[in-house]
C-alpha cells in the first residue's frame, strides 16, 4: 500500500488520466485508509453491541422491554445529527476533523460504559455514541468522494463498505474472544473496544490526509506559510436544490418507505423456521458476509452501468428477499436465500447512494448532500418500521411482508422513471465497450 505523501491531483482529472483500461487498478490509498478506520471503529462498536443485550439483562439487570428501548435509541439518534455533521464539514471545508470529532466522541463512550450503572446512565452513554456516529458519517463519505476519480466512485465506496462490514463481522468475535479469556468480565470487553476505537482514531488523525474538497487537494503541512491559496468559494446551499438532486431524494425516500428493517425480516424467518430461531444471532452475520463479498463487484457494476440503475435495480434483491421471507421458499434454503438477497441489496445501495449523490452535487456542498440523501432514507425507513408494525398487527406476518413486496414492485418502476435524467447524467462517459 502506498500512502498519500504525494499530492493528489483533483479527483476528476486523475480519473481521466487513468482511463477505463486501468479499471482494475486499486482504489486510492485514502479510500483504503478510511476503510481501515471504519473497520477498527466497527470492531469497537459491534463488540459492544454484541455483548450489550447480555450485559444489560444479565449484569445491569434490565428486562427485555428496557433493552428494546435502549436498542431504539441506539438506532434512532444518529439520523438527526447527520445533516449537522455534513453541514459543519462543508462549512469548515475540514471533513477529516469533523469526522475525527465524531469518531472521538464514540471512542470516549466505550470508556464511559465502565462506570455507567442503571438504565438512565446506559441510555445516555449510548445516545452520545450514536451522536458521534451521526456526526462522522457524512464527512467520512465526503473524504471518500474527494479521494477517488469520479468514474470509479462506486468501486471506492464498495471497497470502503466491504472493509466496514468486515469490521462489523469481526467485532462480535473479538467480544466473545475476550469473554472466553476472562469470563463474565464485561469491563474487559469495553476496554478492548475502546482500544480498537483509539487505533482507528489514531489512524485517521495521523495518517489520513487532510482532504479539502473545496480546494481540491490536501494541504501539505506548512503550506499556510507559503503563498496564500486562492480562498475557496463559500458553500451555497441553493446548489443542493438542483432538480436531479430533488428527484433522487424523492426516489430514495419512496424506496426507503418500503424497506422493512432487517429485524422484522429475521423475525419473519424465525417465526416459520425453528432453525432460524435457534441461530437468530447468526442471521445478521450471514447478511454481512454476503454484503462483504458483493460490495466491490456491485460498486464496480454501478460504475459501468450507471449508479442510478444499480441503486434502483438493487431493490429487486430486496423484493426477492421479501418474497422468500413471506413464505415462498421454506426451510434452510429459504433462510439462506433471504440473507444473500439482503446482503446483495445492501451492496447495491448503501455505498452506491453516496457515490451517486457525490456526482449530483458540487464539491463544496457534497457532505451536506450526502447527509441529506442518507437522512431521507433513514427517516423513510423509520416511518417504514412504524407502518410495517401496523401492517404486521393487521394482516399477520407473511401477508404483511407480501403486501410490502407488492408495493415495492410498483415503486421500483416509479423510481426508475423519476431518475430518468439522473440515469443519463450519472452514466460514465467512457462506458462504451
Q: 208 to 237, contacts with another protein by CB under 8 A? A: 221
Residues 128-187 that bind another protein (CB under 8 A): 172-173, 176-178, 180-187
CA angle 337, 343, 347 (to 5 degrees): 140
- Contact residue for another protein among 188, 289, 305, 407 (CB under 8 A): 188
Distance CA 211, CA 11 (A): 11
Is 427 one of the binding residues for another protein (CB under 8 A)?
Answer: no
Nearer to another protein, 10 or 278 (CB): 278
Q: How far is the CB of 17 from another protein (least distance, A)?
A: 22
Q: How far is the CB of 240 from another protein (least distance, A)?
A: 27
Is 199 one of the binding residues for another protein (CB under 8 A)?
Answer: yes
Find the radius of gyration of the CA atoms of the chain. Answer: 22
Residues 54-93 that bind another protein (CB under 8 A): 54, 57-72, 74-76
Nearer to another protein, 258 or 365 (CB): 258
- Contact residue for another protein among 84, 111, 112, 191 (CB under 8 A): 191
Nearer to another protein, 337 or 385 (CB): 385
CB atoms within 10 A of CB 48: 28
CB atoms within 10 A of CB 142: 31
Contacts of 135 (CB under 8 A, 6+ apart): 81, 82, 84, 85, 88, 98, 99, 101, 102, 105
Nearer to another protein, 75 or 217 (CB): 75
Residues 101-130 that bind another protein (CB under 8 A): 115, 117-120
Nearer to another protein, 157 or 266 (CB): 266
Distance CA 209, CA 101 (A): 16
Q: How far is the CB of 339 from another protein (least distance, A)?
A: 15
Residues 362-401 that bind another protein (CB under 8 A): 382, 385-386, 389, 392-397
List Cα–Cα distances, 111 to 48, 104, 105, 116, 133, in angstroms: 11, 11, 11, 9, 16
Residue 115 phi/psi, 5-degree rounding, is -85, -5
Amino acid at each position: 500500500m502506498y500512502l498519500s505523501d504525494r499530492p493528489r491531483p483533483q479527483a476528476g482529472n486523475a480519473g481521466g488520466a487513468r482511463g477505463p483500461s486501468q479499471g482494475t487498478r486499486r482504489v486510492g490509498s485514502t479510500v483504503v485508509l478510511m476503510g481501515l478506520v471504519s473497520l477498527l471503529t466497527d470492531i469497537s462498536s459491534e463488540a459492544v453491541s454484541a455483548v450489550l443485550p447480555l450485559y444489560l439483562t444479565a449484569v445491569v439487570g434490565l428486562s427485555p422491554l428496557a433493552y428494546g428501548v435502549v436498542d431504539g435509541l441506539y438506532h434512532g439518534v444518529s439520523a438527526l445529527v447527520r445533516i449537522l455533521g455534513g453541514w459543519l464539514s462543508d462549512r469548515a471545508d475540514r471533513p477529516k476533523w469533523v469526522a475525527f470529532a465524531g469518531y472521538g466522541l464514540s471512542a470516549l463512550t466505550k470508556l464511559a460504559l465502565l462506570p455507567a450503572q442503571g438504565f438512565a446512565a446506559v441510555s445516555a452513554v449510548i445516545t452520545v455514541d450514536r451522536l458521534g456516529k451521526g456526526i462522522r458519517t457524512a464527512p467520512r463519505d465526503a473524504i471518500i468522494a474527494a479521494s477517488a476519480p469520479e468514474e470509479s466512485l462506486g468501486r471506492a465506496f464498495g471497497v470502503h463498505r466491504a472493509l466496514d462490514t468486515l469490521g462489523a463481522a469481526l467485532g462480535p468475535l473479538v467480544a466473545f474472544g475476550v469473554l472466553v479469556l476472562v469470563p463474565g468480565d464485561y469491563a474487559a470487553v469495553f476496554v478492548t473496544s475502546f482500544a480498537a476505537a483509539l487505533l482507528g482514531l489514531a489512524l485517521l488523525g495521523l495518517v489520513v490526509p487532510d482532504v479539502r474538497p473545496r480546494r481540491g487537494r490536501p494541504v501539505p503541512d506548512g503550506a499556510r506559510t507559503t503563498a496564500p491559496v486562492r480562498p475557496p468559494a463559500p458553500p451555497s446551499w441553493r446548489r443542493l436544490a438542483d432538480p436531479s438532486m430533488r428527484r433522487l431524494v424523492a426516489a430514495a425516500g419512496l424506496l426507503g418507505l418500503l424497506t422493512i428493517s432487517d429485524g422484522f425480516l429475521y423475525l419473519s424467518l424465525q417465526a416459520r423456521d425453528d432453525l432460524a430461531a435457534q441461530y437468530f444471532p447468526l442471521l445478521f452475520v450471514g447478511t454481512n458476509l454476503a454484503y462483504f463479498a458483493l460490495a466491490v463487484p456491485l460498486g464496480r457494476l454501478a460504475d459501468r452501468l450507471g449508479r442510478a440503475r444499480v441503486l434502483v435495480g438493487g431493490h429487486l434483491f430486496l423484493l426477492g428477499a421479501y418474497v422468500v421471507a413471506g413464505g415462498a421458499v421454506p426451510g434452510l434454503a429459504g433462510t439462506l436465500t433471504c440473507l444473500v438477497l439482503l446482503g446483495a441489496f445492501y451492496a447495491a445501495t448503501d455505498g452506491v447512494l453516496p457515490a451517486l449523490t457525490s456526482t449530483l452535487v458540487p464539491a463544496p456542498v457534497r457532505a451536506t448532500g450526502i447527509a441529506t440523501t442518507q437522512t431521507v432514507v433513514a427517516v423513510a425507513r423509520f416511518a417504514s418500521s412504524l407502518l410495517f408494525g401496523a401492517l404486521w398487527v393487521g394482516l399477520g406476518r407473511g401477508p404483511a411482508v407480501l403486501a410490502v413486496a407488492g408495493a415495492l414492485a410498483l415503486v421500483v418502476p416509479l423510481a426508475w422513471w423519476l431518475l430518468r435524467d439522473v440515469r443519463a447524467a450519472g452514466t460514465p462517459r467512457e462506458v462504451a465497450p
